[in-house]
Amino acid sequence: MDKTIKIQVRRYLPEKQPDPFWQEYEVPLEPKWGVLDALIYIKDHLDGSLSYRWSCHMGVCGSCGMMVNGEPALTCATFLEEYQPGPIRIEPLANFKVLRDLIIDTDDFMGKLKSVKPWLITDEKRDITDGENRQTPAELKAFKQYTLCINCMLCYSACPVVGLNEDFVGPAAIALAQRYNYDNRDSGNAARHDTLLAHGGAFDCTLIGECSRACPKHVDPTGAIQRYKADGAMEYWKRLIWPKAATAPKNDGIVKQID
């Protein structure tokens, strides 16, 4: 080993000891190695008990988000050389319950994603024989940015509101709702208002913008939330003052289980 760098990992082994603790490892400082490569090295050669999630190693599967020196980051796309001389401190993503070591509980996030009804909702059923929907490049561009979310949850870690208010549906989920709301093939805005206008919805956001700074894919959830607030405010007042004028959802697209 020519050059090395120290990695300090916040470990949590609930079956062995009740509190998290720090453990330090020394790994080779190889050119092109990401923080994830260091974790793989540790697991393979130093300590088989270290646990973390990873898969694609190319920044698209969204598995390997962690706190690196206090900032949320995709560890496969964050490089050791940038942290010389070290040490590098690695912790599980902030604002989540930790299951073990660097692995967080993502069930709550998954529920929030689903709560915004992230599927194409149409008033009329379209058949394959009807062919493709037309969508010009400009119409695609209107929502394309919001399709790029990889569900890595870095924005939830960065968001101070998520940290204080566990009911907040959060940046990625609102951006995903907007991904469908701005798709010209979709007519489900009304069905999504229920979640986005409710307690924990878009209006809980205080527009600090940390989510957009943390986003590795430049989805800009802050922008998505801001745009929703304009549309949502109109709907909110309609519902309050003149409920009849409020947009009633025709359907929400859900396919029910039949017993």
Partner 1 sequence: MTRYGPDEYDVLIVGGGGAGLRAAIAVAETDPRLKVGVVSKVYPMRSHTVSAEGGSAGVIKSNDSIDEHIYDTISGGDWLCDQDAVEAFVNEAPKELLRMEHWGCPWSREPDGSVAVRSFGGMKNKRTWYAADKTGFHMLHTLFQTSLKYEPIRRYDEFFATTLLVDDGRCQGVVALEMATGRLHTIAARSVILCTGGFGKAFRFTTNANIKTGDGVALAYRAGVPLKDMEFVQYHPTGLPFTGILITEATRAEGGFLLNKEDYRYLQDYNLGKPAPQPVNRTMELGPRDRLSQAFEQERQKGRTIKGPYGDYVHLDLRHLGEQHINERLPMVRELCLKYEKIDPVTQCIPVRPVVHYTMGGIDVDINGATCVEGLYAAGEASCVSINGANRLGSNSLTELLVFGARAGRAAAEHAKQAKPFSAKLAALARDEEQRIEETFCKSGEGKTSGDSIASIRETLHHQMEAGAGIYRDEKSLQTAKETVLELQERAKALPLQDSSYTFNTELTAAMELRNLLELSSAIIESGLLRTESRGAHQRTDFPQRDDENYLKHSLAHRTEYGATPRIEYAPVTITKWPPKERVYG
User: Residue 71 or 246: which CB sits closer to partner 1?
Assistant: 71
From CA 214, how far away is CA 220, in angstroms rounded? 9
The CB density around residue 215, as the number of other CB atoms within 10 Å, is 23
- Using DSSP, state whether 70 is helix, strand or coil: coil
Shortest reach from residue 67's CB to partner 1, in Å: 18
Give the span between the Cα atoms of 250 and 101, in whole angstroms.
Answer: 46
Minimum CB distance to partner 1, residue 12 (Å): 9
| Residue number, 24 or 208, with CB nearest to partner 1 | 24
Partnered with residue 26 across adjacent β-strands are 6
> Measured from the CB atom, is 161 or 219 closer to partner 1?
219
Residues that bind partner 1 in the complex, under the rule CB under 8 A? 13-16, 31-32, 43-45, 47-49, 51-63, 77, 99-101, 103, 106, 110, 113-114, 117-120, 126, 128, 131-137, 139-140, 143-144, 147-148, 150-151, 176, 180, 183, 185-186, 253-259
Residues linked to residue 23 through DSSP beta bridges, in sequence order: 9
Q: How far is the CB of 171 from partner 1 (least distance, A)?
A: 17
Residue that is written with structure tokens 């796309």 in the block? 77
**Termini Cα distance of the chain:** 63
For residue 248, the minimal CB distance to partner 1 (Å) is 19
Beta strands 21-28 and 65-68, pairing class: unpaired
CB of 24 to partner 1, least distance (A): 17
Nearer to partner 1, 18 or 243 (CB): 18
Are 191 and 151 a contacting pair, CB within 8 Å?
no
DSSP type of residue 50: -
CB closer to partner 1, 122 vs 165: 122
Closest distance to partner 1 from the beta carbon of 57 (Å): 6
In the bound state with partner 1, the residue whose beta carbon lies nearer, of 135 and 206, is 135
Q: What minimum distance in Å lies between the beta carbon of 208 and partner 1?
A: 26
Do 217 and 151 form a contact (C-beta atoms < 8 A)? Answer: no
For 183, phi then psi, to 5°, come to -85, 120
The rounded distance, in Å, linking the Cα atoms of 96 and 112 is 13
> 31 or 70, CB closer to partner 1?
31
